[in-house]
Amino acid sequence: MSTSSKAGVQTYKNFINGKWVPAVSGATFPVYDPSTEEVIAQVASAAAPDVDQAVAAARAAFDSGPWPATTAQDRGKILHKLADKIRQNTARLADIESRNSGKPIIEAEYDIADVATCFEYYAGLANKVMGHVNPVPANALSFTLREPVGVAAQIIPWNYPLLMAAWKLAPAIAAGCTCILKPAEQTPLTAIEIANYFEEAGLPPGVVNILNGLGETTGAALVAHPGVDKVAFTGSAAVGKIIVKSAADTLKRVTLELGGKSPNIFFPDADWEAAVDGALFGVFINQGEVCSAGSRILVEKSIYSKFVEAMTEKTKRIKLGAPLERETKMGPLVSKEQYDRVSSYLEIGKKEAKVAIGGGRPKQFGKGYYLEPTIFYDVDNSARIAREEIFGPVASVIPFDGESEAIRIANDTPYGLAAAVWTRDIYKAFRVVKSLRAGIVWVNHMQPTYVEAPWGGYKQSGFGRELGPWGLEEYLETKQVFVNLDETPIAWY
Ligand code: NAI
Ligand code: MG
């Protein structure tokens, strides 16, 4: 695999307390273009001393200075300005995102639009946070104040880099928290880019710090740091478990979004073309690097063979290509590591099931981490390709016999992030919806996600919810204020 020398590529710093600073050690790590395998940037690699600086900055900004004095209206205005800056720079941000992550440019443009919408949503929500008056007996008054939880460490993945940053930063800012965002080491460039907008938007120094580095060092040090009050994480279940254990030492608040092995269920009465498209879109969009990928495709036996055939035929028409070409529907995987991981699952799958299409590297690309969209069929739900999150363009098609078997197979997984069901029968649709253990169930669609509605997992897909008012809630504490209205002495002795 080719690499280019350190010379000639730009080196980016960390953003701490409103300033760009190199790592204390001077270390950097390389960032790649996954379609060329070339190094496109070097980024400051934070270790414990940098984490200390970032936490100190976020702590100070939370405890004193202009930020605690801002009103909810002020914070809403800041979020609106960030949204405006992001929208004005859509083309530039989408270009960086597509180059760095390998996702098709049209997908990157949708993502950036969603990023701006997310900041706008929380801009509007900032001054709608209200406490309650609690119905205690008449000799007292009790009410609740909603207060920011404090310093939030936000650790995000590489599949939707700036969107995951937005889902974490926007509600935290609205709530009045301060943040240390650690982008994935594969895809730090868009988060670095938007830090350039912070001062103009009115964010005081230290409120949002962008700290880059590796998960095992920078991420782990943030999670363990006593100056951090909350960890918000999106990524692998394996790292989620490490985070919960480490955060236990300081009893931080933790929210986790850990992906899944989501079932996409097809009954014979579904709209045929929409169903076949929905199966492919559900699993192959964003190269299958999607936490809610519909990677287990459950099809009723009476249509099973025809459905696999139709999926196979349509898969041939999916355009693989360079991320920046507008016709491209699937680009390369994000990194060599992910390419190797998914490739190893392709070999496992060939032993566990039959291949309808794909199964390896597409021949037309000399370089880049491209993999063919792959459909395995006659997959047993106990197979590794049906149980483990692959996070690449790999579908496992599983036959079922009737509604109750579909539900049983769908729920037979440690995960519970998402599910979808395709049928024209509303009785059946809603019976299935109620039976599935997942944080979202789509009916006759798969993947649309709106900032107004909650997002998060059941079971080992994590806990806590992002987006909507639920997402803001995770950044708030509840303080009860009790006022005694009875002047009679207590006289308890
Ligand atoms: P990962 O879970 O290792 O990385 C996600 C984030 O966590 C990155 O920012 C990383 O630097 C950080 N991190 C890693 N180890 C850490 C630690 N010990 N303490 C604190 N932070 C840490 O994911 P990775 O290795 O990139 O991908 C592995 C698998 O994880 C994928 O194949 C996929 O199955 C799953 N994944 C799920 C995602 C989701 O959206 N739910 C997103 C990315 C990966
Ligand atoms: Mg990892």
The string of pLDDT tens digits covering residues 425-447 is 999 999 999 999 999 999 999 99
**Closest by Cα among 247, 179, 221, 259 to 475:** 179
* 275-301 residue pLDDT tens: 999 999 999 999 999 999 999 999 999
Measuring from atom 20 of ligand 1, which residue has the nearest CA? 219
Residue 429 tokens read as 């649709």
How far is 46 from 68, CA to CA, in rounded Å?
27
Instruction: Please count the other Cβ atoms lying within 10 Å of the Cβ belonging to residue 444.
Output: 15
**239: CA distance to ligand 2 center in Å?**
7
Q: Which residues contact 264 (CB under 8 A, 6 or more apart)?
A: 278, 279, 282, 283, 294, 296, 297, 298, 419, 420, 422, 446
- Distance, in Å, from the CA atom of 475 to the CA atom of 471, rounded to the nearest integer, reads 8
Q: How far is the CA of 187 from the centre of ligand 2 (A)?
A: 13
Q: What is the per-residue pLDDT across 89-113, written as a single tens digit (0 to 9) for each?
A: 999 999 999 999 999 999 999 999 9
Say if ligand 1 is within 6 A of residue 146 CB.
Answer: no
Q: Which helix (H) or strand (E) holds 145?
A: strand 140-148
Question: Residue 242 CA: which ligand is closest?
Answer: 1
Q: Is the CB of 457 under 6 A from ligand 1?
A: no
Question: Residue 122 contacts by C-beta under 8 Å, 6 or more apart in sequence?
Answer: 79, 170, 171, 173, 174, 471, 472
Name the closest ligand to CA 188: 1
- Ligand nearest the Cα atom of residue 388: 1
Taking CA atoms only, the protein residue closest to ligand 1 atom 26 is 157
Q: Ligand 1, from 29, 158, 164, 239: best to mutate by most atoms within 8 Å of Cβ? A: 239
- Which one from 118, 185, 291, 352 is the annotated catalytic residue? 291
Q: Give the closest residue (by CA) to ligand 1 atom 42.
A: 235
User: Which residue has tokens 């098609």?
Assistant: 397
Q: Is 216 in the pocket of ligand 1 (CB under 6 A)?
A: yes
Question: What is the C-alpha separation between 182 and 165, in angstroms, rounded?
Answer: 9
pLDDT of residue 440: 98
Pocket test for ligand 1, best of 154, 236, 369 (most atoms within 8 A of CB): 236
Separation of alpha carbons 114 and 126, rounded Å: 18
As a residue count, the chain comes to 493
Whether 259 lines ligand 1, by a CB cut-off of 6 Å, is: yes
Are 213 and 185 spatial neighbours (Cβ–Cβ below 8 Å)?
Answer: yes
Kindly give the confidence (pLDDT) of every residue in the chain, 493 residues in length, as a single tens digit, with 9 standing for 90 and above. 223 345 579 999 999 999 999 999 999 999 999 999 999 999 999 999 999 999 999 999 999 999 999 999 999 999 999 999 999 999 999 999 999 999 999 999 999 999 999 999 999 999 999 999 999 999 999 999 999 999 999 999 999 999 999 999 999 999 999 999 999 999 999 999 999 999 999 999 999 999 999 999 999 999 999 999 999 999 999 999 999 999 999 999 999 999 999 999 999 999 999 999 999 999 999 999 999 999 999 999 999 999 999 999 999 999 999 999 999 999 999 999 999 999 999 999 999 999 999 999 999 999 999 999 999 999 999 999 999 999 999 999 999 999 999 999 999 999 999 999 999 999 999 999 999 999 999 999 999 999 999 999 999 999 999 999 999 999 999 999 999 999 999 888 8
User: What is the share, in percent, of the chain residues with pLDDT greater than 70?
Assistant: 99
Q: Is 257 a catalytic residue?
A: yes
Dihedrals phi, psi of 181, to nearest 5 degrees: -95, 125
Q: Which residue type is seen at 201?
A: A
pLDDT score recorded for residue 1: 29
Residue nearest to atom 43 of ligand 1 (CA): 235
From 222, 341, 391, give the residue whose CB has the most ligand 1 atoms within 8 Å, as the site to mutate: 391
Residue among 299, 302, 268 nearest 282 (CA): 299
Angle between helices 272-284 and 301-315 (to 10 degrees): 60
Angle between the N-to-C axes of helices 105-125 and 72-88, in degrees from 0 to 180, rounded to the nearest 10: 160
16-63 pLDDT, tens digit each: 999 999 999 999 999 999 999 999 999 999 999 999 999 999 999 999
Cα separations in angstroms, 124 against 78, 81, 129, 168, 224: 11, 12, 10, 16, 33
DSSP code of 204? P
pLDDT at 356: 99
Bridging pattern class, strands 151-155 and 28-33: unpaired
CA atoms 295, 299, 303, 304: torsion sign:
positive
The burial of 475, by beta-carbon neighbours within 10 Å (0-12 exposed, 13-18 middle, 19 or more buried), is given as buried
Average model confidence (pLDDT) across the chain: 97
Question: How close is the Cα of 237 to the center of ligand 2, in Å?
Answer: 10
CA distance 423 to 266: 7
Q: Closest Cα to atom 44, ligand 1: which residue? A: 235
CB 466 less than 6 A from any atom of ligand 1: no
Judge residue 401's burial from the number of C-beta atoms within 10 Å of its C-beta, 0-12 exposed, 13-18 middle, 19 or more buried.
exposed
Residue 177 annotated as catalytic: no
Whole-prediction pTM value? Answer: 0.97
